[in-house]
Structure 1
Amino acid sequence: MSRQLTAAPPPAAEAPSATSRTARPKKPTSALRRTRTFYMFVAPWVIGFVALTVFPLGYAFWLSLTDSDGLSPRTHFVGLENYVEFFQDPLTLNSLARTGSFTLITVPLSVIAGLLLAVMVNQPIRARGFFRAMIYLPAVVPPVGAALAFRLIFDRDAGAANGVLSSIGADPITWLVDPNARYVLYALVMWGCGGSMIISLAGLQDVPREVLEAARVDGATSWQAFTRITIPLLSPVILFQVVTGVIGSLQSFAPLLLSTGSLSGAGSVPEGNYLFMIHVIAQYFGASRFGYASAMLWILFAVILVVTLLIIKVSARTVFYTVDPEGKR
């Protein structure tokens, strides 16, 4: 009688316990690690942007809807009264109009002066690096220091300008009062046009030499090559300077430092130099009208935004790019 041998069945695999399942956490994928790293790097900027930009803007907008004086803990909600008062206050409207005329004068002058200086120092002359540095040096001086230096130079009694006039027998001039104060202000603005010169110089050095040489071969004069080739190729650089210059001029408070040497005492600023930001500072620190001053700043923000968009819209047909902007290809 033969014995039939059968293989024993293999032992059943043990099911993993709950403890073993929880003891093995899933490893983060490479995409998840990249995401975490990205947020770790941008977190400081996001926190700073929220704390130093978003929150102050929101708080200033809330102040513009109240009658806050900056001292009393109790404020009353007044709605749009501050904005309505803005358009009914002749002093505010006059200061805004004066700021507009100041911008229309100083921005073109700064751009043109910077371009002409850039053309000069772009020529193959000796020590042009020295001249570039000397022209650009005033642009790195802080605006506060520059305004205080001009205040000392044009002081009526002890200023260097009247010292020169006295040495030639001329009568001293009261530079820091109307109508001479505005000319000192324009001189202060033009004194710092070295920044515009550096930007224009970078644009000039980016103009293709082959295009200029081809124009000369075709018989174009230096003036024709400059006006019909260099200027169109510099139009994006000029647009940038115009936009940034307009934004800076509309927010300028240099006349206050030029006249008083501090951020207080706005009432002593000559009428010709009484710009919009000076009126805002007077409302903040002189009249303690934080609500009204905040509304003025929000309206100034709207004006800057509209003017900037208008400049970009108008310049769409006059600005030429070597590379087509994205979306127009």
Structure 2
Amino acid sequence: MRHAETVTFGGSGLDRAAALRSMPDLMDRARREGTALSILLWRGKPLVQAGSLDQLVRLPMDHPIIKSGRHVDADSEILLGREADGTLVFAHDMSSWLPAGLEATSLNTFLDASEQQHPDLPQDAVFAELRRIMTSLNARDAELAATAKALYSWHASHGFCACCGVASEIAQAGWQRGCPSCNAQHFPRTDPVVIMLILNGNSVLMGRSPGWPDGMYSLLAGFVEPGETIEAAVRREVMEETQVQVGAVRYLASQPWAFPTSLMIGCEGIATSTEITVDPVEIEDAIWVTREEMAQVFAGQHPDIAPARKGAIAHFLLRNWLADTLD
């Protein structure tokens, strides 16, 4: 696709400044000289402008909440990259902070609409769920937030050496963990997931999972298994979930999906059969939807089907299919 990288979380051209990750003196100097800023996350939620929720809040590295370490988790500093003007952008995690009344808020749901405001941060700044605000952020802010969220998810689940079991230590400005016992090095994990625009003439194959909002359907998706090509994964996942056979497969676009650490690989597949037999362990339902019906879905006028989440690659692929801009 000519505009594949216009997908949410893609295409901002961030300079990740990998060469600086092993140069702590340079990073310390940047902080002292005021040429570094930081974004904050709380339980995966980035700190953004209240009200509009369309811009990451960037704090100077000498901000009291960062400098004092109060509520900023130890060893959470990650170098995300370098802006065109040379400014370094870091991330810090505040997940250990417990907001007052947290037990009364709804977190980790399909769409968490709650916002949290820390008393030591600007009053016009709140932590907001990334899936809720992802289409409001510009490409650079979306990439920074997704990168930080994915890295913190990886660190949270990989605190011990997979070789010997000893607690590992953060290294390389947050892009590595090292074992102090056996010296093993561990690097951030990305899980490849195929997501498929399965076509049969004028129709596309859609499915839904239990727990989704009423009427919501999306494209089929599944993890790539070891020893498997992307094309084989597309055919296997569709067969497992619906018993629909797929012939030709081609790559369309990809999307980093930090929920928690996936890379969504968007593909087109041409169905060679149409009869659906759903595996209830995999999905709740699957249907063929015509292009005309999908136009109704996107217009919010279909009586039974709600669209895929805006900002997700499924929505992106379907919108381009409707517009005939997959090439």
Work out whether the TM-score is over 0.5.
Answer: no
Q: Normalization by structure 2: what TM-score?
A: 0.21
Greater share of strand: 2
Which one has more relative contact order, counting CA pairs under 8 Å at least 6 apart?
1
Greater share of helix: 1
Choose 1 or 2 for highest CA Rg.
Answer: 1
